Amino acid sequence: MSTTGISSWAVDLADIGAVYPFQGAEVIFLLIGLAFWLWWHVWSIKAENARHQEKIANHGSAENIKDALENHH
């Protein structure tokens, strides 16, 4: 019993193909991967927008912006 399908190296390597664990579950791996990728885009856009709004709320006055342009090149 082995997650990779290999339980001993007493084999002819010419007969061996894939050796990664849980072969046969590739569809599940892909679905998890796709979900994670799409979620990450949504999260990053929301988080970035929130940071922008926070920055504007805390520092977005005309005076602050003029000061920032003087001091942060």
Partner 1 sequence: MGSNLDAITTVFTEFYYWLTVALMFLIHVGFCMYEVGASRRRNHMHTLMKNSMLIPLVTITFFFFGWWIYWALPQWPIGSGIDFETAAANSPLSENMGTNLGDRITGVFWAAFLLFSWTAASIVSGSVIERINSGAFWILAVLIGSVAWIIDAAWGWHYGGWMVQYLGYHDAYASGVIHAIAGGFALGVLFVLGPRLGKFAADGTPRDIMPHNPWFVCIGLFLIYTGFWGFYVACNVPLIDPGGIGGQITGETWTATTIYLTPTTLGAITVNFLMSLSGGMLIGYMVSKGNAFWTYSGGLAGIITASAGNDLYHPIQAMIIGGIGTYLAYKLHFWVENRFKIDDAVGAVAVHGYAGVIGLLICGFVLWGHPSSPYEGYAPITPWGQLGGAIIMFGVLGFLPGWVGAKILSALGILRIPKEVELLGLDFASAKEEEAAAHEVRETAKSMV
User: Based on CB atoms, which residue is closest to partner 1, 1 or 62?
Assistant: 62
Q: What's the min distance (Å) between Cβ of 19 and partner 1?
A: 5
The binder of partner 1 chosen from 8, 10, 32, 49 (CB under 8 A): 49
Rounded distance between C-alpha atoms, residue 43 and residue 33, angstroms = 15
Binding letters toward partner 1, positions 7-36, x by CB under 8 A: ------xx-xxxxx--x--xx-xx--xx--
Rounded distance between C-alpha atoms, residue 66 and residue 22, angstroms = 59
Rounded distance between C-alpha atoms, residue 73 and residue 61, angstroms = 18
